[in-house]
Amino acid sequence: MSMDDPKTFGRSRLSFAKEAEVDKFVSMLSQFEKGEIGADEWRAFRLVHGAYGQRQEGDSSMLRIKMPQGILTGQQLRTIASVSRTYSRGFGHITTRQNIQLHFLDIHRVEGAMRECAAAGLTTREACGNSVRNITCCPWAGVSKDEPFDVTPYSEALTRFLLRHPLSTTLPRKFKIAFEGCANADHAYTSIHDLGFTARVKDGQRGFKLTVGGGTAILCTDGSVLYDFLPAERICEVAETVVRIFHERGDRKHRQRNRLKFLVREMTWAGFKAEFDRLLAESKAPLDLDPPVEGAPTWQRLSAPSNEVLAAKVRAGKLKGPGIAPDLDVKLDPDPATLQRWRASNVRPQKQAGFSAVTVTTPLGDLSAEQMEALADLAAAFGDGTVRVTVDQDVLFRWVPDAQVDALYRGLAASGLHLPDAGTVADVTSCPGAESCKLAVTQSRGLGRTLGEFLRARTDLIDQAKDLIVKMSGCPNGCGQHHVAGIGFQGSVRKVGTKPVPQYFVLVGGGSSPQGAHFGRIAAKIPARRVTQALERLIGLYVKERQSGESATAYFQRVDLKVVKPLLADLEQLTVETAQPDDFIDLGETHAFNPETSEGECAA
């Protein structure tokens, strides 16, 4: 929708927020502190409203801001920047579910953060807890040359239908939905979702292939096809029916076995399908949608601040608090060779002639408040006033005129956001890990930073295996989606003598495509400090043994573990005699490794 509102610079959509929910949050916190409600009731409530307890003692909380389809207007970016500066550490973290998380908030200050977000149309409702989580969407939807139609309006329509739905906040466990439009890629990882919608056209009618019951963590499962073709107007009633089955039949007693994939297995596919057909007949939720066609900006774009102003602003940002912070490496005179490399990896022609989609590589998904404000300025000047965050923890500009791509790059460089190699092996993905999560064993963000820096110093390795996807998680739950990475790392611990050592399971061969999911196979268990050596060896193995034209992803999906395991066997060995002092310190930390975990809140 085109608008002249200077807050949005061109595109906007209706608010997802309700101010009254913030009032209720304040009231429930007061009741909890007065002893009028118990800890379990308070926890369940605050989780549904996006406040997640961290591993640190006291009232340290994470606030998850829900961003349907990963879309943010310039105004919303500025709001999150303000909230992160005022209430958090001065930076935010993009998640693999297209949310932004702010960490280390005092629970008593969450109210102020929520109110600022609500004023900008942002909600934290159903971002955590046993609810229908943020519905994710392919970030290329609407501009991809490889799509039958734009799935964004349908994803948003289902979001609005299920947000605050009577069933959505009282489920046995979390419920995840994704939409993909591209015919030859699965950017949204639909195969590992409870519901995965992939665009199809049949006899001129829009619809979706729909898979059900996918997931990772314990019992990695490829979603089963419920519909080869589901007419688009039926997505709400079908989704509601599956949610209803999960609500009524899901396991509420066993936290480790209460995702939809377990229920489908328990019921058998025939039993699940029979129950689905019975309940579907009772559902009346047709979708009446005349989807808008996203067009090129027709409004007057704003002028970007000078690169000197952008650089000064980003440099002046104040990052605070514990944990790994974003690198604010601004560049006012970027290297022309880096520009060419960036153009090759970060710029993709849209299906609309004359425009490009530009990926902003965002290491660990971290953006400082000032970088968010810079992105808002640059989106208004070079894009359509909005950005989309991706499940790979990057930021996407759309509708950038081809002739202005280089100017945008210089603005990004001045903002410390100039890194090339988006979507390559260097663009690693990580969950928050033991920096804040109660369940995590290892500091996965420390590993992510280490691998990213290692690879960027070795462009030869990047160029040898560009398509290889690397992801990591600090525990088996898989928030970093390591199970579906070409090379995945899962945090763990071992004892050497009497001391704990951080280690990672090395998984090879994961991925997600329109044909379904491949799940990584465990090839080794390696001390954290040796993971860079393992990755270098694996890339070398691919280069040595690949077939003509074979991608790294395809190679690791077919390679026999009998070939991989001997390659890494010596890296697994660690004894009291051979251990070095650093082996007992996790990556990203300075103190001795102390793998304390507690009951997580994912299934509260």
The residue whose two tokens read 């603005």 is 411
- Answer whether residue 292 shows pLDDT above 90: no
Q: What is the sign, positive or negative, of the torsion defined by CA atoms of 262, 267, 272, 275?
A: negative
pLDDT digits (tens, 9 = 90+) for 120-134: 999 999 999 999 999
Q: Is 418 helix (H, G, I), strand (E, B) or coil?
A: coil
pLDDT at res. 6? 47
* Domain CATH code at residue 246: 3.30.413.10
Q: Is 136 helix (H, G, I), strand (E, B) or coil?
A: strand
Around 149, how many Cα atoms within 13 Å sit in the side-chain half-sphere? 19
Q: How confident is the model at residue 261 (pLDDT cuts 50, 70, 90)?
A: very high
> Taking the C-alpha atoms of 583, 589, 594 and 600 in order, what is their torsion angle to the nearest 10 degrees?
-130
Tokens describing residue 478: 């898989």
> Taking the C-alpha atoms of 150, 154, 160 and 164 in order, what is their torsion angle to the nearest 10 degrees?
-120
- Answer whether residue 3 shows pLDDT above 70: no
- Answer whether residue 433 shows pLDDT above 50: yes
Residue 484 lies in a domain: yes
- Answer whether residue 600 shows pLDDT above 70: no
> What is the average per-residue pLDDT within 241-259?
92
Please, what is the end-to-end C-alpha distance for the chain in angstroms? 39
- The alpha carbons of the chain give a radius of gyration, in whole angstroms, of 23
- Answer whether residue 453 shows pLDDT above 60: yes
- Answer whether residue 176 shows pLDDT above 80: yes
Residue 343 lies in a domain: no
Q: How confident is the model at residue 551 (pLDDT cuts 50, 70, 90)?
A: very high
Residues 474, 29: Cα–Cα separation, whole Å: 30
- Answer whether residue 255 shows pLDDT above 90: no
Which of 513, 515, 459, 511 has the alpha carbon at shortest distance from 485?
A: 511
Buried b or exposed e, range 448-473, using 16+ CB within 10 angstroms: bbbbbebbbebeebbebbbebbbbbb
Residues 100, 118: Cα–Cα separation, whole Å: 15
pLDDT at res. 598? 67
Q: How confident is the model at residue 2 (pLDDT cuts 50, 70, 90)?
A: very low
Contact 183, 146 (CB under 8 A): yes
Residue 35 lies in a domain: no
Out of 280, 305, 330, a domain closes at 280
Where residue 7 falls (left for φ over 0; alpha for ψ -120 to 50; beta otherwise) is alpha
- Answer whether residue 291 shows pLDDT above 80: yes
The residue whose two tokens read 């208004």 is 380
Which of 208, 229, 132 has the alpha carbon at shortest distance from 175?
A: 132
Cβ contacts of residue 495 below 8 Å, gap of 6+?
Answer: 501
pLDDT digits (tens, 9 = 90+) for 483-542: 999 999 999 999 999 999 999 999 999 999 999 999 999 999 999 999 999 999 999 999
Residues 489, 450: Cα–Cα separation, whole Å: 13
Residue 56 lies in a domain: no
Rounded to two decimals, what is the model's pTM? Answer: 0.96
Which of 255, 273, 214 has the alpha carbon at shortest distance from 483?
A: 214
Out of 245, 264, 280, a domain closes at 280
> What is the average per-residue pLDDT within 6-15?
73
Residue 327 lies in a domain: no
- Answer whether residue 400 shows pLDDT above 80: yes
Residues 404, 36: Cα–Cα separation, whole Å: 59
Contact 493, 442 (CB under 8 A): yes
What is the spatial order of strands in the sheet that 355-360 belongs to?
Answer: 71-73, 386-389, 395-401, 355-360, 347-349
Following DSSP, what letter does each residue of 24-90 receive, concatenated?
HHHHHHHHHHTTSS-HHHHHHHHHHTTEEE-SSSSSEEEEEEB-GGGEEEHHHHHHHHHHHHHHSSS
Residue 549 lies in a domain: yes
**Number of domains making up the chain:** 2
The DSSP 8-state label assigned to residue 102 in this structure reads E
Q: What are phi and psi of 359, to 5 degrees?
A: -90, 130
- Answer whether residue 247 shows pLDDT above 70: yes
pLDDT digits (tens, 9 = 90+) for 296-349: 999 999 999 999 999 999 999 999 999 999 999 999 999 999 999 999 999 999
Residue 451 lies in a domain: yes
Residues 363, 379: Cα–Cα separation, whole Å: 19
The residues with which 506 forms a beta bridge, in sequence order, are 489, 524
pLDDT at res. 285? 87
- H/E element, 113: helix 110-119
Out of 230, 255, 280, a domain closes at 280
Cβ contacts of residue 182 below 8 Å, gap of 6+?
Answer: 138, 140, 144, 146, 147
The mean predicted confidence, pLDDT, of the chain is: 95
- Answer whether residue 8 shows pLDDT above 80: no
Following DSSP, what letter does each residue of 197-235 receive, concatenated?
EEEEEETTEEEEEEEES-B-SSS-BPPEEEEEEEEGGGH
Alpha helix positions (H), 293-433: 307-315, 336-346, 369-382, 405-414
Q: What are phi and psi of 205, to 5 degrees?
A: -100, 140
Tokens describing residue 256: 């480790």
Contact 465, 539 (CB under 8 A): yes
> What is the average per-residue pLDDT within 27-42?
97
Q: Provide the strand spans (E) within 403-486.
A: 429-430, 470-473
pLDDT at res. 1? 31
Q: Which domain holds residue 263?
A: 144-280
pLDDT at res. 372? 98
Which of 68, 9, 92, 83 has the alpha carbon at shortest distance from 371?
A: 92
Residues 419, 356: Cα–Cα separation, whole Å: 18
What proportion of the chain, given as a percentage, has pLDDT over 70?
97
The DSSP 8-state label assigned to residue 123 in this structure reads B
Letter for the amino acid at 537?
A: R
SS (H, E, C) 547-567: CCCCCHHHHHHHCCHHHHHHH
What is the spatial order of strands in the sheet that 521-527 belongs to?
Answer: 429-430, 470-473, 487-496, 499-508, 521-527
Buried b or exposed e, range 232-242, using 16+ CB within 10 angstroms: bbbbbbbbbbb
pLDDT at res. 179? 98
pLDDT at res. 597? 72
Q: How confident is the model at residue 11 (pLDDT cuts 50, 70, 90)?
A: confident
Residue 34 lies in a domain: no
- Answer whether residue 452 shows pLDDT above 90: yes
> What is the average per-residue pLDDT within 168-186?
97
Q: How confident is the model at residue 602 (pLDDT cuts 50, 70, 90)?
A: low
- Answer whether residue 256 shows pLDDT above 80: no
Residues 400, 402: Cα–Cα separation, whole Å: 6
pLDDT digits (tens, 9 = 90+) for 347-394: 999 999 999 999 999 999 999 999 999 999 999 999 999 999 999 999
